[in-house]
Amino acid sequence: MLISETTRSTCIPCKRGGYKVKYFGTDGIRGIFGDTLTDELAFKVGKALGEIVGEGKVLIGKDTRVSGDSLEAALSAGLTSMGVDVLSCGILSTPAVALLTRITRSYGVVISASHNPPEYNGIKILKSGYKIPNELEEKIERKIEGEFQKRYVVGKIRPFREGKDMYIGAVLEMFKDLDLSGKSVSLDLANGATTTTVKDVFEFLGADLEIFNSSQDGLLINQGCGATHPKFLAEEMKKGRIGFTFDGDGDRVMVIDEERNVVNGDKIIGILAEGMMREGRLENAVVVGTVMTNGGLEEYLKKKGAKLLRTKVGDKYVLEEMLSSKANLGGERSGHIIILDRSTTGDGLITALELMRTIEKLGKTLLELAKEIPDLPQVTKNVRRTEKTSLEHEGLRRLIEKYNAEGYRIIVRPSGTEPVIRITVEGRDRDRVEEIAEVLSRTLEG
């Protein structure tokens, strides 16, 4: 692993201590259904988790993907075979399931591949509101590869559709001081998990809504829409409105301002930090980001008297640092934002409502607030990972040191969700940033 003394450049390997993970990435297990993610694997994950849970209960929620029913059936079979009861929540977002596991003090599983295309799916495991730690993921992997205990008690499966209403009720209670009457809001639901909750909440709060991509056809999820395609909403929504575009499982949100400009997660965090500081609510004047967080946000926070702490990419690592540093605001440029005094995980709906509340309290437009936060040019290139791809490439290392000396921040890391190496370059000269990213990607490709 290469980390310069100034921590301006980072090269991150794909290992966890001495254990090399086989199934779990930065956000659970993820892959193409029927290929790297199969019903057989889901069944084994269910049995392994069931062995850990004992004779308790596990909640299962899923996004709209067509493979969700098959994977849920396999997971449920594995869990019930080990004596665990399954509560099936139906189509429900990751943060909703997380909140329900906190309320019920139980384990939960979300079947989703978040922002990935429809052919992908994934398995995320939660406990009492939090994604399980690496150690528990490794324990599950070892059980999958080993022998399972014999159990003589069989669990039951029952619907838990009231979970949706419990989640909506909890969110409305959080924002009982928020009135959106007369506010014009556009929503892109990405044809995903938020189709069951977000519209209901905004309607209850009185917003004048414009809705896009609210289908539950599992072949449409994230297809040219949602948080990974924010320009769709920016082009389709009317001017003068505020737009929120969610990802497939609802833990991310990107925002569109009144002039239809995309407001990324770094700017959202900056605006929320300003509002929370005004309220005296930003714990320890600390915000947690990742190595990918834009340097412009770091500059903005410093001017406001707050400090940015960086961690590895992945919301679980952001959360770990937040808990360690006693921070209550953190997140990623992708729009995955954790407001810890509201929720234990990233929640696109809660982030959207918190932003609407902040805009009202600060007395400015979203456009005005977003412009106050600088955004340094940042370019990311993906290099397909092969057996020959090495992050210890000597030529790559020398180039990173050279560009680091020129004042450019460089991050080279394996994706936790796709078989690629991501090269990110950040600096003040966009043309030079793009040139450096191209040189580094060609070098890594060999």
Which residues form the catalytic set?
114
CA distance linking residue 403 with residue 190, whole number of Å: 38
What distance lies between CA 212 and its chain's CA centroid? 21
CB 360 within 8 Å of CB 346: no
415 closest CA partner among 331, 317, 314? 314
**Which residue, 382, 399, 410, is CA-closest to 443?**
399
Please count the residues of the chain. Answer: 446
Contacts of 74 (CB under 8 A, 6+ apart): 39, 40, 42, 43, 46
Q: CA–CA separation, 359 vs 186, rounded Å?
A: 16
Residue 367, SS3? Answer: helix
- Cβ partners under 8 Å of residue 329, min gap 6: 269, 272, 273, 276, 282, 283, 287, 288, 322, 337, 338, 339, 340
Say which DSSP state 82 is in: T
Q: Within 10 Å of residue 92's Cβ, how many Cβ atoms? A: 30
β-strands 107-111, 120-127 pairing? antiparallel
- What are the distances in angstroms from CA 56 to CA 50, 86, 153? 8, 9, 11
For every residue of 317-329, DSSP letters joined together read: HHHHHHHHHT-SE
- Give CA separation, 88 vs 57, 113, 360, in Å: 11, 18, 38
Give CA separation, 355 vs 336, 366, 371, in Å. Answer: 14, 9, 15
Please state, as a whole number, how many other Cβ atoms lie within 10 Å of the Cβ of residue 104: 18
